[in-house]
Amino acid sequence: MIDSKILRTRIKDELSKIVDFLNCYLRGENVKDIKAILEKID
């Protein structure tokens, strides 16, 4: 059984990465920067 606290932390980390990605996208950052962020997500 996965500890729910660990799971919540991991979900929060993933969500913050997605939010960072969207912020960059909405600001019109370079596509290269977006690719780097996508690589971090994987």
Token code pair at residue 34: 């977006």
Domain that includes residue 24, residue range: 4-39
Q: What is the pLDDT of residues 10-38, one digit of tens each?
A: 999 999 988 888 887 788 766 677 677 77
Element (H, E) at 32: helix 31-41
Instruction: Please tell me the predicted confidence (pLDDT) of residue 12.
Output: 92
Q: Do 18 and 41 form a contact (C-beta atoms < 8 A)? A: yes
Angle between helices 4-27 and 31-41 (to 10 degrees): 170
Q: Which of 37, 6, 42 is nearest to 19 (CA)?
A: 37
Average of pLDDT values for 7-12?
A: 92
pTM of the model: 0.50
Q: Count the domains in the chain.
A: 1
Instruction: Please tell me the predicted confidence (pLDDT) of residue 8.
Output: 92
